[in-house]
Amino acid sequence: MSINEKYFNAAMEKLEQRRSTNKIISEQRRSEIYEKIPEYRELSLHLAETGGKLVSLIMKGGDTAEGVSRLEKDNLDTQRCMSELLTKAGYPEDYLKPIYTCPVCKDKGTVNGKWCGCFRKLMLEEAARELNENSPLELSSFESFRLDYYSDLINPQMHISEREMMQRNFDTCRRYAEEFTLKSDGLLMTGATGLGKTHLSLAIAAKVLEKGFSVIYGSSPELMRLLEQEYYGKSDKDTMSALVGCDLLVLDDLGAEMDKPLYQSLLYEIINARICRGLPMIVSTNYSIVELQRRYQDKIFSRLAVLRQLAFVGSDNRRRAKTQRQQ
């Protein structure tokens, strides 16, 4: 992921907030222990004195082996007594050790002169937040989904009612959101416009966000336009890295983007990269499976075909809802 100044500054600010928060928690814990276990405070002071004596002894030079050994033993004995005091009082031994949100870089943001994965994730989250600013992520929920909009008459071709079929889709989507992990399968929602594909994909996205995962929602036409600007150097953002690296990508309205060779290439890069990384995605489209195969190159369609397919049926719910409001 290339470094965007805006994302970099936002990540640095969050990193500093982490360090500040962890420092406050550490100080609160230390004050708590000093108040509840006065002996622990005395041992802490003694440990600091021992450390100072050890440094002074080494600085003097000469034959210090015996003195260093004695002080080191005193140091270890003191630490052991302090650990015993903590455990006897019901605290874990490491209760007063430094707190780090990222144990790899210890909240420095770098490891061996390179950006830590946690810092890159912070920049990715900022990119995702910006992409989602104008997305309707809070407008749809499982609670507001209307199954009564679907007919309960048995369809002679499907041998099942539209309502029952959509009940199955609804249950699948809600279970998907509740059980979501980075190893979850992807979903491909197909069907005509106004059947609830966007509603349920947004409901999943909202629940997954609540669980602490990074989610990006975007329509295919909008995302392709953004990527095209970056491809031709008209923007210094790195939307592609955000799309292929977020925990869950919700790609809405696939097929509504213009039929350009560049867009086909960009779509392939997104889909292939996420599949290679084992990251889940939800794709919704007004096209049928047959129409998708005609619309896209084989290398794109074959990767879409491995997603779990949910067929949405019925009549346009948006029109039905509008009609009911006008009555």
Which segment of 102-106, 122-126, 146-150 scores lowest on mean pLDDT? Answer: 122-126
pLDDT tens-digit readout, 202-238 = 999 989 988 888 899 999 999 999 999 999 988 878 8
Give the list of residues 6+ apart from residue 94 with CB closer than 8 angstroms, or none.
none
Beta strands in 118-235 (DSSP E): 154-155, 160-161, 187-190, 215-219
Q: Looking at the domain covering 132-326, what would its CATH class be?
A: alpha beta
pLDDT tens-digit readout, 258-280 = 999 999 999 999 999 999 999 99
Q: How far apart are CA 145 and CA 278, in angstroms?
A: 30
Q: Which region holds residue 171: left if phi is over 0, alpha if psi is between -120 and 50, else beta?
A: alpha
Is pLDDT at 288 greater than 50 in this prediction?
A: yes
pTM of the model: 0.68
Per-residue confidence band for 326, with pLDDT thresholds at 50, 70 and 90? very low
Per-residue confidence band for 57, with pLDDT thresholds at 50, 70 and 90? low
Identify the sign of the CA torsion 183, 188, 193, 196.
Answer: negative
